[in-house]
A = this chain, B = another copy of it.
């Protein structure tokens, strides 16, 4: 079984975009009366099916992957828009929509939720939505380290500000993918620099901390191959060692995992060479950051399965990346697959 741990619903029904546009306008105008009603959303099963079958499901079949751990569009989370109540309304709608996709295609998708984060609002306020989604069969969440949308002005993820939320994650036994949303800072480009910078930032926050002493079973997936970390493995190793910390491989242990959203062969070769195989999860981020085919290979930039297959790895290592590691990182996955198959 090939499990893609990082897919977003980026082909949503168009009325979802209408709703969000109206909601954003009302939030910006601070006009509660102009807020669009949730009951006004028109998204038929037929529309959802068409959007999935022509995109994510088509690519699953063409590329030969089996299951996508599926969450709302990351750039659409928009935690910086409006206040906490706006974020909560939008988050519930997006998560319910993922649940509908999973219900329509129970063998192909399993849910991961977005969270009702908002600038300055304690992460513990997102615990209830995580719990609601896990009850619906979700196996993890996307946790945003920068609700500001581009200015990196939240407390580091090692700060006790985050701890009540981590307690809920540990209680439910679900991991978080560290994932920022769309960037409203003109200096950073959402998918080009902002995503990668957040990944690198959070890894660096963690390695000098005692976070996993406080939460030995807390698990983070740092997407996009861990940002800049594998390329600068020596820099991060050196900084860790110079600060009295152990080797990065030991720090990552059973707590930090990188995905394979790295869109060229030399990048995947480096990732799988320097990062412990036990800490790598297969992912494509499709349909996502980089669409279209690489003119030099003729294959999709985000067809990361090909890069893993072509990497100089044993069959056992490839099996860990494609499947085995995912069951360890997402303990709820096995039962949820069985439940959805029934």
Contact = CB atoms under 8 A, between A and B. Distances in A.
B201 A236 contact: no
Nearest to A292: B242
Contacts of A224: 232, 235
Interface stretch (A100-108, A148-156, A321-329): A148-156
Contact of A196 (B232, B237, B269): B232
B266 A238 contact: no
Contacts of A203: 193
A264 B156 contact: no
Contacts of A270: 231, 266-267, 269-270
B200 A228 contact: yes
> In this complex, which of A150, A151, A191, A207 has the most chain B Cβ atoms within 10 angstroms of its Cβ?
A151
A236 B274 contact: no
Contacts of A150: 152
A186 to B, nearest CB: 6
Interface size class of A (residues with CB under 8 A): 35 or more
A208 B191 CA distance: 13
A233 B200 contact: no
Nearest to A159: B186
Nearest to A304: B234
A238 B227 CA distance: 17
Contacts of A237: 263-264, 294, 301
Given A205-B187, A208-B189, A294-B238, A267 B200 contact: no
A166 to B, nearest CB: 17
Given A225-B231, A232-B225, A301-B234, A239 B191 contact: yes
A295 interface: yes
Contact of A186 (B156, B185, B290): B156
A139 B315 CA distance: 53
Interface in A256-285: 262-264, 266-267, 269-271, 273-274
B187 A152 contact: yes
Contacts of A231: 225, 228, 230-231, 262, 267, 270-271
Interface of A: 145-146, 150-156, 185-189, 191-193, 196-197, 200-201, 203-205, 207-208, 224-225, 227-228, 230-239, 241-242, 262-264, 266-267, 269-271, 273-274, 289-292, 294-295, 301
Given A234-B294, A238-B294, 13 more contacts: A150-B152, A191-B235, A192-B204, A192-B239, A193-B197, A193-B203, A197-B201, A228-B231, A231-B231, A237-B264, A238-B289, A242-B291, A270-B270
17 contacts: A151-B152, A151-B153, A153-B187, A156-B186, A188-B201, A189-B201, A191-B239, A193-B204, A197-B200, A225-B231, A227-B228, A231-B262, A233-B266, A237-B263, A237-B264, A237-B294, A239-B290
